[in-house]
């Protein structure tokens, strides 16, 4: 693989962004392959685990943009860069090329790897992983990521499964009080790899988001925004939507 190549798990859309600040917005997803984390509840193992490496394509920026343009009918829209952890891929040239064509770019990363090109994004979503993930947060690197996106729209999005995760989210927000905070209930039922029909325990998710709303309001955490995963509500854990 050449240095300039980007490992791509899948490119799909247009569909809607299912979570966070852009929820409901039409977008094309570019899901990269590879991740430096192994979260206990990962719902995208096909883009994370090296077991699936042979399914990832090595593409350069021009190849990716050609596919995005094909899917969008050459009408510029928001492109969502996800993974895995897209920050481990050399995405700067893709963002530059897409901007020249009128496209916008949002990236979601756990904030474990900082890249100078974060500042070229239209939106940087930092999603540090809570204790339920089994991962540890490097607070210094997360702060570097925040600083790298200083001239773009940067926000926090944190998954919450329980009271421990909720306390973690409060702590992250306290460290970065200038950033908007989006909270979403955790999804306990990731799909088996290759399963396009897996559904979720929607009743359990409904209970969790009600609990989260009640907790945020009782604590008077009025700056936090609580949102569901809209794509999960519509399609369960089906891939590519």
Q: How many CB atoms lie within 10 A of CB 24?
A: 11
Mean pLDDT estimate for the chain = 89
Helix axes 163-175, 139-148, angle to 10 degrees: 50
The pLDDT score that the predictor gives to residue 1 is 39
Residue 239 pLDDT grade (very low, low, confident, very high; cuts 50, 70, 90): low
Residue 240 pLDDT grade (very low, low, confident, very high; cuts 50, 70, 90): low
Residue 187 pLDDT grade (very low, low, confident, very high; cuts 50, 70, 90): confident
| pLDDT single digits (tens) 84-128 | 999 999 999 999 999 999 999 999 999 999 999 999 999 999 999
Q: Return d(Cα 7, Cα 31) in angstroms, integer.
A: 9
| pLDDT single digits (tens) 32-58 | 999 999 999 888 888 888 888 889 999
Domain ranges (residues) in the chain: 6-235
The secondary structure of 79-103 as a DSSP string is EEEESS-GGGS--HHHHHHHHHTT-
The answer to whether the predicted template modeling score (pTM) of the entire model surpasses 0.75 is: yes
In sequence order, what E strands does the chain have?
6-16, 26-32, 57-59, 78-82, 104-109, 123-126, 153-160, 181-185, 224-226
Fold for the domain defined by 6-235? TIM Barrel (3.20.20)
| pLDDT single digits (tens) 157-184 | 999 999 999 999 999 999 999 999 999 9
């Amino acid at each position: 693989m050449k240095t300039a190549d980007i490992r791509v798990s899948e490119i799909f859309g247009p569909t809607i962004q299912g979570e966070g600040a852009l929820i409901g917005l039409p977008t094309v997803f570019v899901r990269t392959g590879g991740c430096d984390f192994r979260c206990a509840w990962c719902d995208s193992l096909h883009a994370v685990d090296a077991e699936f490496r042979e399914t990832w394509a090595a593409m350069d920026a021009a190849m990716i943009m050609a596919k995005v343009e094909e899917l969008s009918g050459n009408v510029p829209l928001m492109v969502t860069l996800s993974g895995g952890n897209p920050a481990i891929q050399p995405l700067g040239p893709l963002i530059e090329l897409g901007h020249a064509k009128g496209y916008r770019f949002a990236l979601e990363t756990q904030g474990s790897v900082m890249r100078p090109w974060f500042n070229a994004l239209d939106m940087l979503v930092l999603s540090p992983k809570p204790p339920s993930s089994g991962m540890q947060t490097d607070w210094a690197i997360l702060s570097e990521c925040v600083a790298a996106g200083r001239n773009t729209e940067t926000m926090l999005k944190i998954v919450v499964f329980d009271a421990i995760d909720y306390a973690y989210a409060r702590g992250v927000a306290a460290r970065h009080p200038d950033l908007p905070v989006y909270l979403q209930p955790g999804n306990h039922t990731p799909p088996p790899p290759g399963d396009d029909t897996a559904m979720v325990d929607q009743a359990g998710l409904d209970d969790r988001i009600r609990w989260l709303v009640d907790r945020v309001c009782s604590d008077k955490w009025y700056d936090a925004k609580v949102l569901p995963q809209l794509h999960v509500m519509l399609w369960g854990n089906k891939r590519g939507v």
